[in-house]
Structure 1
Amino acid sequence: MHTLAREKPLAAVLGPQFQDFYCATCFAELDVNGETEILMCDDCSEVSYCSLKCQRQDWRSVHQKPMTTTMRLCIRTLLVTLRNSERTPSFNGAIIEDLETNYKEYRSSPSHNQFLSDMVTIIKSVGHNVFPKSVETNKMIAIICTVLCNAFGIMDDKRVEPIGSGLFVGLAKHNHSCASTSHVVFEKNQITISYVSRMLPTFERQKSIRNVHFITCRCEMCRNDDLDFIGLASRCETANCSGYVKGSNPCGVCKKPAVVPIMESSSSTSKLIDILDNLHKSNEFDSTTQYDYLQNLRKEYIRILADCNVAILQLDEQIAYCASDLKKIPDNLSEYSESWRGPFNH
């Protein structure tokens, strides 16, 4: 693997579920074992900092008021942009004004337009002491649209899901392709990046992209029905057969016809992905309980879905993550965590 570009975000915020583990300002991993002092917010007692400098910097970005992660990212971006602060240079010289905003599309959609108006009202109410008074509402909305359209999840190698969200101006200039093999890749002299998880089925990826970026992706991955059929594959119903069924095609191993309809496998795939997404947002389970819950989910869905199904692959990642969090790798985990290396799991 080669590193093509390195870039610090113009603005970034930490996800609320990770506030006990990372500094809310610089994202440094905190020493939860207590050997190094961790500073807490005196007001809300919910966010943590690695230093007094980071704590003061976060308060200058209007931390005092409770708000969503997206709103905090918009505020931090507005502060950097409207205050004419010294900006972190992008690796390719791009600036935030160069990015696509989809301003017209957002404003022409009643639901999006109402969301933007509500957000501006809230931001103005909490940031009246820090934003320049002469700032036009339309300019604020344009910057907010830029954030909504171009923000990326921030990953930590130790975790499966993003720990936060940030605006990387240089990287955001590159075009989208679901088929990108890494966060940034060279392809035919053009850098392409994926705006969504490539583990999702095509209909889920395209729905997400249309809702946020107002484009219909036509990359080779979206055009390749065979790849999508693999991602939605169901388990072969023939006894002792290790094969899988793609769509209405027969099993690739025993050649027996498909038993599970493609709509049923698609529905089960989508349902399992939704369950896993909602699980990310919930703090209801501890690691042990979540591990047992995920194991039971796998037993339920593996009766229908194949090991190479994108939802099962996501589920296996979650099980592996929980197992590592518990500092144990059960014997039965290795039976399926390494059993498939398909096009969605490079």
Structure 2
Amino acid sequence: MDFEIRCCVSARDERRRETLLRCSQCKTARYCNITCQKQAWSVHKRECKCLRGLLPRVPTDSVRLAARLIFALFSPSKGSSKELYTLEEHESHLTSMSEQKKQGLSQLASMLELYLRQEAPDLAQEMTSSLPPSCREPLSLIAKVTCNCFTVSDGELQEIGVGLYPSLSLLNHDCRPNCVMVFEGTKLQLRAVRDIKPEEELTISYIETLSLTEDRQRQLEEQYHFTCHCQRCDSQDKDGLMLSGEEATWRLLKEALPRLEEQKAESRWEALIKSCSHFLSTVGDDLPDENLYKLRLTDMALDASVHLGHWEEAVRYGEKTLPVYRQYYPDPHPVHGVQLMRVGKLQHYLEHIADALDTFKQAFQIIKLTHGDDHPLTADLLMKMEECRSELDQKSSSSH
């Protein structure tokens, strides 16, 4: 299994942040429980000193991750150094970056040097003597980390941090990959979602693929510095479906999205549900559910309804998305499986037991492949299915 370097938790969700234990010294690192905190101390103790030295400034995830990498290379544990030295095979892409992006990375590199000096005053000398050549320059190291790190997520795909898994970073991208990656804690699993022939290349998707070809290619260019020419991009597969309906109508939704995304990021759920309801009722049946922008608004309405406890509305929005997800994810995909499971839980809560069981069964067909039999999410799904069967049996017995 790959040796991983990771940041503990990113503060992307303020509500989640408030439920976590905070390190009493640096006030920055957060943990799910005391056991997790104790297990992390051997790694966190050097980082803790650096974080305290910079307060009230807090370094970005990428700076903390690069620093953890350097600490691991300074003091390699058994089996870790060989894996980490594979970073030599990774590109920094500095030569192909715009000056603006280089400038941003230079600021992160300066922060990294300042951060590390709290723990390693003779930093330059230590880096020269202890690190592989491509990791001695902070700018090059930061560039490699930002281009090759993975977003760590929980079983339900909520982002919780960033991590570096050097060997798996060498896999190439495809917008319709034959493999997916899922996390169990900080352990990263590579799982096949299609039959793979002998000597066929294993591929993953670096980005969320539910977007237009032009947008996917732009994101890959900006973040990973290559132009994608996979079969899906060259054929512009699904673009016509994503832009189905009257252009004048879907442009209204497209133009509204940045403001709605801002409301979601700020957890302004009342404002968000009001906006989404207004736009969705305005376009009505003029746009098919498959239209990408209508789907995004429907998903946002689902999120807002769940946060507000509007369960009937939530299940209505969720059920609208399922046939669309089925079209856009022809292969088993974690996003599709988690969406089915989410809707199934809503149906179950509202006592639509038969519907919930059917939805959970569909989710299971996906999750058992994307997450595997031993993943906690798979076990949770099996338990939900058993609960539904038991409740249906009870209803059947009481009706006789």
- Residues in 2 aligned to 1:179 and 1:322: alpha-carbon distance in whole angstroms: 30
- Residues in 2 aligned to 1:321 and 1:77: alpha-carbon distance in whole angstroms: 36
Give the count of matched residue pairs.
295
Task: Name the counterpart of 1:193.
Answer: 204
SS at match of 1:166: strand
Task: Name the counterpart of 2:165.
Answer: 168
**Residues 271, 60 of structure 1: alpha-carbon distance in 2 compared, 3 angstrom cutoff:** farther
What amino acid is aligned across from residue 191 of structure 1 in structure 2?
L
**The one of 103, 125, 138 aligned to 1:114:** 103
Task: Name the counterpart of 1:257.
Answer: none
Higher helix share: 2
Unaligned runs of at least 5 residues, structure 1: 1-5, 23-29, 33-37, 235-259
Q: Kindly indicate whether residue 324 of structure 2 is the aligned counterpart of residue 336 of structure 1.
A: no
Alpha carbons 1:13, 1:69 under 8 Å: kept = no
Task: Name the counterpart of 1:63.
Answer: 51
Q: Kindly indicate whether residue 268 of structure 2 is the aligned counterpart of residue 285 of structure 1.
A: yes
Q: Kindly indicate whether residue 322 of structure 2 is the aligned counterpart of residue 316 of structure 1.
A: no
SS at match of 2:155: coil
TM-score, normalization by structure 1 = 0.70
Q: Kindly indicate whether residue 176 of structure 2 is the aligned counterpart of residue 179 of structure 1.
A: yes
Alpha carbons 2:3, 2:165 under 8 Å: kept = yes
Alpha carbons 1:13, 1:72 under 8 Å: kept = no
- Residues in 1 aligned to 2:282 and 2:3: alpha-carbon distance in whole angstroms: 42
Q: How far 1:121 sits from its partner (Å)?
A: 1.5
Identity rate, percent: 18
Alpha carbons 1:11, 1:76 under 8 Å: kept = yes
- Residues in 1 aligned to 2:178 and 2:251: alpha-carbon distance in whole angstroms: 26
- Map Cα deviations across residues 253-309 of structure 1 (whole Å, 9 max, x no partner): xxxxxxx34xx57755654554465455x33425x5544444445335656643112
Q: Kindly indicate whether residue 84 of structure 2 is the aligned counterpart of residue 73 of structure 1.
A: no
Give matches, 1:133-144, under 5 Å: 133-134=124-125, 135=127, 139-144=137-142
- Map Cα deviations across residues 215-273 of structure 1 (whole Å, 9 max, x no partner): 10001111123411112222xxxxxxxxxxxxxxxxxxxxxxxxx34xx5775565455
Measured on the aligned residues, the alpha-carbon RMSD in Å equals 3.6
Task: Name the counterpart of 1:157.
Answer: 155
Q: Kindly indicate whether residue 115 of structure 2 is the aligned counterpart of residue 126 of structure 1.
A: yes
- Residues in 2 aligned to 1:222 and 1:104: alpha-carbon distance in whole angstroms: 25
SS at match of 1:169: coil
Unaligned runs of at least 5 residues, structure 2: 129-134, 182-191, 331-400
SS at match of 2:4: coil
Alpha carbons 1:41, 1:55 under 8 Å: kept = no
- Residues in 2 aligned to 1:118 and 1:74: alpha-carbon distance in whole angstroms: 14
What amino acid is aligned across from residue 204 of structure 2 in structure 1?
I
**Residues 78, 115 of structure 1: alpha-carbon distance in 2 compared, 3 angstrom cutoff:** farther
- Residues in 2 aligned to 1:118 and 1:268: alpha-carbon distance in whole angstroms: 38
**Residues 277, 326 of structure 1: alpha-carbon distance in 2 compared, 3 angstrom cutoff:** closer
What amino acid is aligned across from residue 333 of structure 1 in structure 2?
Y
Alpha carbons 2:65, 2:163 under 8 Å: kept = yes
Q: How far 1:193 sits from its partner (Å)?
A: 1.0
**Residues 333, 175 of structure 1: alpha-carbon distance in 2 compared, 3 angstrom cutoff:** same
Alpha carbons 2:179, 2:204 under 8 Å: kept = yes
